[in-house]
């Protein structure tokens, strides 16, 4: 058991599509409910909480009764617009059930590239947190695209969550994923793979990245999570990577429980 994070004033929680959408393609309503419960409990206990969520396209697919993601960018962006609306409706219902207020922010990389817009969005987040409102942030997938001449995309929401966390000087970033943490080898291929409980120093993180420990496939894989951890550690902050199968795990994290992989945290003596 690690020490409880008594000085953890601001927390950013990132949840991936795999935690919000069943393998069948249907929305995981239980996960959304448990996430709302946990974040509302954290907010009620005095923490300032920000949620970075994926899932807009996944929810859009479910809403349109589609089983595969279309190849055309315009079709994907249309699904993102449909899904984002439905996702926020679900969040609104569940957070309201637990007495928490939420607000939506849809961002592109340009917002952080330009000092004026960056300052405005950070001021908005500060104002929301001062009112005990939980900002729910996602990339504006209906606008952002790699095909534009200027940089609009973050690449993935792991990078977005780390950028938000470091920009608002959050004490902790919790990344909820479809994997329990960082392993010494790919657990999908090696049943005896061992979980790495703590990566305390940048040198240890560099070694993990060099050996490809726990490497994953697809967007939002282990590579992007290690990049997020690197950004947090460089800012002198902490990140926890853990399973999002039951989002209530975030309550264990802030209590200092031995779950997932902790980046940038020394073990208690």
Q: Is 157 annotated as a binding residue?
A: yes
Q: Is 141 annotated as a binding residue?
A: yes
Signed CA dihedral, 62, 63, 64, 70: sign only = negative
Query: Tokens at residue 58, please?
Result: 């996944």
Q: Is 178 annotated as a binding residue?
A: yes
Q: Is 214 annotated as a binding residue?
A: no
- Distance separating alpha carbons of residues 81 and 231, to the nearest angstrom: 30
Query: Tokens at residue 253, please?
Result: 């994290």
The verdict on domain 10-263 having CATH code 3.40.1160.10 is: yes
- Distance separating alpha carbons of residues 36 and 218, to the nearest angstrom: 27
Q: Is 219 annotated as a binding residue?
A: yes
Q: Is 145 annotated as a binding residue?
A: no
Sequential pLDDT tens for the chain (269 residues): 454 455 678 999 999 999 999 989 999 999 999 999 999 999 999 999 999 999 999 999 999 999 888 888 899 899 999 999 999 999 999 999 999 999 999 998 888 889 999 999 999 999 999 999 999 999 887 776 554 444 555 668 899 999 999 999 999 999 999 889 998 887 878 888 899 999 988 778 777 654 544 333 333 478 889 999 999 999 999 999 999 999 999 999 999 899 999 998 665 43
pLDDT at 145: 59
Q: Where are the domains of the chain?
A: 10-263
Beta bridge partners of 52: 14, 137
Beta bridge partners of 199: 263
* Virtual torsion, Cα 229, 154, 166, 201, nearest 10 deg: 20
Q: Is 220 annotated as a binding residue?
A: yes
pLDDT at 209: 59
CA atoms within 13 A on the CB side of 79: 22
- pTM attached to this predicted model: 0.90
Beta bridge partners of 15: 53, 176
Mutual angle of helices 222-234 and 202-211, in 10-degree steps: 160
Q: Is 60 annotated as a binding residue?
A: no
- Distance separating alpha carbons of residues 248 and 37, to the nearest angstrom: 8
Q: 37 and 75 in contact (C-beta within 8 Å)?
A: no
Which among 165, 167, 220 has a CA at the least distance from the CA of 50? 165
Beta bridge partners of 137: 52, 105
pLDDT at 269: 38
Strand, helix or coil for residue 263: strand
Which phi and psi angles does 206 have, rounded to 5°?
Answer: -60, -40
Q: Beta-carbon neighbour count of residue 150 at 10 Å?
A: 8
Q: Is 264 annotated as a binding residue?
A: no
Q: Is 54 annotated as a binding residue?
A: yes
Q: Beta-carbon neighbour count of residue 193 at 10 Å?
A: 15
Q: What is the CA radius of gyration of the chain?
A: 18
pLDDT at 150: 43
- Distance separating alpha carbons of residues 63 and 66, to the nearest angstrom: 8
Q: Is 11 annotated as a binding residue?
A: no
């Amino acid at each position: 058991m690690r020490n409880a994070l008594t000085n953890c004033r601001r927390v950013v929680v990132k949840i991936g599509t795999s935690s919000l959408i069943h393998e069948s393609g249907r929305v995981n309503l239980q996960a959304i409910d448990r996430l709302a419960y946990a974040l509302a409990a954290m907010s009620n206990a005095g923490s300032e909480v920000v949620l970075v969520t994926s899932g807009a396209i996944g929810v859009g697919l479910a809403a349109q009764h589609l089983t595969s993601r279309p190849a055309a960018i315009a079709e994907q962006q249309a699904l993102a617009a449909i899904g984002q609306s439905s996702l926020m409706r679900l969040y609104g219902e569940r957070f309201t059930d637990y007495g928490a207020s939420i607000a939506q922010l849809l961002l592109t990389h340009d917002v952080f590239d330009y000092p004026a817009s960056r300052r405005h969005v950070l001021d908005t987040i500060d104002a929301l947190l001062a009112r005990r409102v939980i900002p729910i942030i996602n990339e504006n997938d209906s606008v952002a695209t790699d095909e534009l001449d200027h940089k609009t995309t973050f690449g993935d929401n792991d990078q977005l969550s780390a950028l938000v966390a470091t920009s608002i000087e959050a004490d902790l970033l919790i990344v909820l994923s479809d994997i329990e943490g960082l392993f010494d080898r790919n657990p999908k291929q090696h049943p005896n793979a061992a979980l790495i409980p703590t990566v305390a120093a940048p040198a240890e993180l560099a070694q993990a990245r060099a050996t490809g420990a726990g490497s994953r496939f697809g967007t939002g894989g282990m590579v992007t999570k290690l990049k997020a951890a690197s950004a947090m550690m460089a800012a002198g902050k902490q990140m926890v990577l853990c399973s999002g199968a039951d989002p209530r795990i975030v309550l264990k994290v802030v209590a200092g429980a031995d779950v997932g992989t902790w980046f940038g945290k020394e073990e208690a003596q």
